[in-house]
Amino acid sequence: MNIAVAADGQSLNSEVSEQFDSCKYLLIVNMNDLSVIAIKNEGDSSGEKLANEVVKHDCELIITGKLNPTAFDILAEACVTRNLGAGHSVKNALDLMGKNSLQYIKNYEGTDECDGDHHHADLTLK
């Protein structure tokens, strides 16, 4: 399983970035052997390229700081789980993720409100 982490450096000892689109590196971590692919952020201010890298590497989850609307929408549409890990090292955030101790990012604003269209089926009998 691959996990993406928006980080300020290239290793597991790096800090998780406060903001996805301004991270220095996107780390793709293979959770089977903790090998890391570091992808340098080349000034992607929308986060679109980085979000597409997460999808391209078949990551099931991303650990990051705040997401902007463009990146959030790409990740949510691809069913990538989003966890808030800013303030932790990558290694610590991965450990916390394994314990389900990281906050789930429900929307790009970082609130507990769930955005998006929710369609409820009419289950009344006629």
Mean pLDDT by 10 residues, the chain (126 residues): 97 96 96 96 90 98 95 97 96 96 87 49 38
Report the distance separating Cα 45 and Cα 71, nearest Å: 10
Residue 22 lies in a domain: yes
Residue 116 lies in a domain: no
Residue 11 lies in a domain: yes
Q: How many CB atoms lie within 10 A of CB 83?
A: 20
Q: How many domains does the chain have?
A: 1
Residue 115 lies in a domain: no
Inter-residue contact 64 to 22 (CB < 8 Å)? no
Domain that holds residue 73: 2-104
Which CATH number does the domain housing residue 98 bear? Answer: 3.30.420.130
Residue 126 lies in a domain: no
Residue 99 lies in a domain: yes
Specify the pTM: 0.87
Residue 120 lies in a domain: no
Nearest to 12 by CA among 21, 31, 22, 20: 31
Residue 14 lies in a domain: yes
pLDDT for position 86: 95
